[in-house]
Amino acid sequence: MKKICLLFLLSGALFLIETARGDAGLYASKNEPELPESLALASFKLVHPLPKVPEKMMVYKTIDPKISREDITKLMKTFGLEGKIDDRQRQFVVKDQNRVLEVFKQPGTGYLRFSNNTKLAIEKEAKNLPSEDNAIDEAKKFLRANDLLPENTFLAGVGYYEFRKYDSIGNTIIQGKSAVSIGFGFKIEEMKVEGPGAKAGVVFGEDGEIIGASKIWREIEPDKEMKIITPEEAFDKFKQRWPGEAEPEQFKRAKIKTEVSIKEVYVTYYAKPGCVPQDYIEPVYVFKGDYQTSSKIGEREIKESDYFEIIIPAIPEK
């Protein structure tokens, strides 16, 4: 099974450069001055074809969370927590030493998280970690028993909390796994929702103890169908996130070059972090790929490359 780190989702650093936009004056001839050294330009290679999409897509309205003190009391029993319920303006919080339960009640949010912070941060090899198959089964069983895993979910992957310790000269002296994490994603209309506000999971520590659990998701209902921008329009908006696009001859003469390779394009929905209010879940275009930026400092050529994932709203701007 492919292992996906579910603890920290890294979308890739995106190195954007302040740029002078291209225009007709950039096409240099023998009688024209050379391009300014500060000029940065980009080229785009569409490896993945633009998708076929419907003319309209449904926009979903989020349902305000209905969380009461009685619900928090039940969750405290589920996680074996003691102490008082701190009823704050935005969320309920329960702290039992280093174990914390946090549930947001603010309109437009959807965030529930339990964490045993001491055991999540431990740098010690865990004894009797459950196998991946057993961990998946137990995670499903636990989340469903506590109404934390709706039908519109899918298994996103299995990851591990890993640690390393080094000696004074940087050699690894000990390393291991302290926990195993099972993550689930959410779907709308069979499309996998993008963003940090669409996930649930369980973390198992030594002897299969649950040391972390979460449901980050807003309940939703259909609102109205809306016309979306075309893939071509989305591609144009994607290009605006980069240095100005250049013709081949322009690009050769640029002082700073960024080559962008788009390897995947699709339409889906996007959910913001669960602790941030979001009134509507709307369709978006997702562009994934990699880029390489090259420039010269004196005689030395510098290159930087990385992966990118860029979200373009699919609903036209009002």
| DSSP-assigned letters across all residues of 171-223 | -EEEEEEEEEEEEEEEEETTEEPBSTTSEEEEEE-GGG-EEEEEEE---EEEE
Whole-number Å distance between alpha carbons of 273 and 59:
18
Half-sphere exposure of 81 (CA within 13 A, CB side): 26
Write down the pLDDT at residue 291. Answer: 96
Q: What is the pLDDT of residue 82?
A: 95
Report the pLDDT value the prediction gives residue 19, as an integer from 0 to 100.
Answer: 31
In the numeric block, which tokens belong to residue 22?
């291209």
Contacts of 252 (CB under 8 A, 6+ apart): none
Mark the ranges of the chain whose per-residue pLDDT is less than 70. Answer: 1-38
Which ranges of the chain would DSSP assign to H, the alpha helix? 69-79, 117-120, 132-145, 231-239, 248-253
pTM: 0.82
Q: 274, exposed or middle or buried, with CB in 10 Å at 0-12, 13-18, 19+? A: buried
Question: Contact at 8 Å (CB) between 191 and 234?
Answer: no
| Whole-number pLDDT of residue 34 | 52
Neighbour count for residue 285 (Cβ, 10 Å): 26
* Closest C-alpha to 79, from 92, 95, 63: 95
What pLDDT score does 251 carry?
79
Q: What are phi and psi of 232, to 5 degrees?
A: -65, -40
Beta bridge partners of 308: 289
Cβ-count burial 182-214 (b if 16+ within 10 Å, e if not): bbbbbbbeeeebbbebbbbbbbbbbeeebbbbb
pLDDT of the residue at 2? 39
Q: What is the pLDDT of residues 188-244, one digit of tens each?
A: 999 999 999 999 999 999 999 999 999 999 999 999 999 999 999 999 999 999 998
Which residues share a beta bridge with 155?
184
d(CA 20, CA 40): 6
For 48, residues 6+ apart whose C-beta sits below 8 A from its C-beta are: 262, 263, 264, 265, 289
Q: In sequence order, what are the residues at sequence separation of 6 or more whose Cβ sits closer than 8 angstroms to the Cβ of residue 40? A: 17, 18, 19, 20, 243, 244, 254, 255, 256, 257, 258
For the record, the structure tokens of 131 come out as 């196998």
